[in-house]
Amino acid sequence: MTIRDMLAGISLSAAIAMAGPAMAADSDNDWSGIDILVLHWSQSSNPFFGPVNAGAEDAAEDQGVRIDIQFGEEDPVVTSNILETAIANGVDAIALGIADDDAYDGILCRAAEAGIVVVSMNIDDSQGREGTCRLAFMGQDFVSAGYVLGQRMIAEHGLGEGDLVFTPVEAPEGTYAVLRHRGVAQAMEEVGATTEMLATTNDHGTALNLMTQYLLGHPDTKAVIGLGQTPTSQAGQAIRDAGLDIPAGGFDISESILADIRDGVLTAAVDQQPYSQGYYAVTQAALAVKYGLFPSEMDTGGMGLVDKANFASAVEWSGRTR
């Protein structure tokens, strides 16, 4: 039996089991006893997840449920322990980022077998629903997003045959990094350019130093495309510190990234709408617990680029929704 077959049986039986008792027990629609674990794969210090949490908190208030936000600190052992504790405590749903294709399969399938609704957000198994026991993913189509950004950089800056494009990222082994890079590399390969990845970590100071050292050692680099918020936010400064004059673009939105777009330091950045990831993951998980409604796949951002022409609309809500 494949994971998809297992999941189909679990999800249908769980939906039926959940819907009846929940609605019968709470005729006044008091759902405050519903507990949802929101588990991020990254470090608690990562500012990207502020908007994700804002969305999750708003959704919890709208749905009248309780959420517990935790961070796996990029450590599979920490993440696994949090999941095991949640299952033992009898949570009703889990919304998590799946940053490793294999580390959590057994735990998530046991959660599903126990009738716990499992949805993924922000980052997913690279095989999607085929890869593990989750019902739906709310996040970015990483490959398409990388391809669109790569095409934009090619069109605007004339990248072509033999050019080297530097693609730094916090965690090169992460699913998001692998798939974003695949999209960027595909665009570059079509014009004969090459890419090279480098691990930066989430620490901005470390990232700046590592990126600057790379550029000093590779002065023939023609462009920088950050595959995550941290390297994208440091790209402009690293280029200046290395004494180069080359274009940069990247992924995700922050106040500093928007300022760099405004000032022409960054050509464009992909907005994956983190608020939506948190909001719809919790909303769909709550609806599944309440009514047995099957969660839907949702692409929260992969085709939309923020650039000088439209950055002002993103500035208004930066930090809260982006």
Q: Strand, coil or helix: what is 313?
A: helix
How far, in Å, CA of 165 to CA of 187, rounded?
A: 11
Q: Could you tell me the pTM of the whole model? A: 0.83
| Span of 29-43, 159-173, 195-209 with lowest mean pLDDT | 29-43
Residue with the two structure tokens 């588990």: 39
Task: Extract the tokens encoding 89.
Answer: 């405590």
How far, in Å, CA of 42 to CA of 40, rounded?
A: 6
- Quick one: pLDDT at residue 304? 76
- Quick one: pLDDT at residue 217? 98
Is residue 23 predicted with pLDDT exceeding 90? no
Q: Which of 159, 134, 136 is nearest to 149 (CA)?
A: 159
Distances (CA, A) of 39 to 69, 88, 123, 308: 6, 16, 11, 34
Torsion of CA 309, 49, 56, 312, to 10 degrees: -20
Q: Which of 172, 322, 162 is nearest to 258 (CA)?
A: 322
- Quick one: pLDDT at residue 317? 67
- Quick one: pLDDT at residue 319? 64
- Quick one: pLDDT at residue 274? 92
More confident residue, 13 or 249: 249
- Quick one: pLDDT at residue 3? 44
Instruction: For the chain, report the end-to-end CA distance as a whole number of angstroms.
Output: 40
Residue type at position 284: Q
pLDDT bin (cut points 50, 70, 90) of residue 47 is: confident
More confident residue, 317 or 9: 317
More confident residue, 319 or 297: 297
- Quick one: pLDDT at residue 19? 43
Q: Strand, coil or helix: what is 67?
A: strand
How far, in Å, CA of 237 to CA of 195, rounded?
A: 20
- Quick one: pLDDT at residue 322? 66
Task: Extract the tokens encoding 49.
Answer: 């997840």
How far, in Å, CA of 28 to CA of 199, rounded?
A: 52
Instruction: Choose which CATH entry (3.40.50.150, 3.40.50.2300, 3.30.67.10, 3.60.15.10) describes domain 3-140+273-301.
Output: 3.40.50.2300
Task: Return the CATH architecture of domain 142-270.
Answer: 3-Layer(aba) Sandwich (3.40)
**Which segments of the chain belong to CATH 3.40.50.2300?**
3-140+273-301, 142-270
- Quick one: pLDDT at residue 154? 98
DSSP string for 137-203: EEE--HHHHHHHHHHHHHHHH---TT-EEEEEES-TTSHHHHHHHHHHHHHHHTTT-EEEEEE--S-
Helices (H), the chain: 3-25, 49-63, 76-88, 105-113, 142-157, 175-189, 204-217, 229-241, 255-262, 274-291, 311-315
Task: Extract the tokens encoding 180.
Answer: 């974003």
CB atoms under 10 Å from CB of 298, counted, come to 18
Distances (CA, A) of 301 to 71, 122, 269, 286: 23, 10, 11, 22
CA 37 to chain CA mean position, Å: 17
How far, in Å, CA of 14 to CA of 33, rounded?
A: 18
Is residue 235 predicted with pLDDT exceeding 90? yes
pLDDT digits (tens, 9 = 90+) for 145-187: 999 999 999 999 999 999 999 999 999 998 899 999 999 999 9
pLDDT digits (tens, 9 = 90+) for 59-107: 999 999 999 999 999 999 999 999 999 999 999 999 999 999 999 999 9
Q: What is the mean pLDDT of the chain?
A: 90
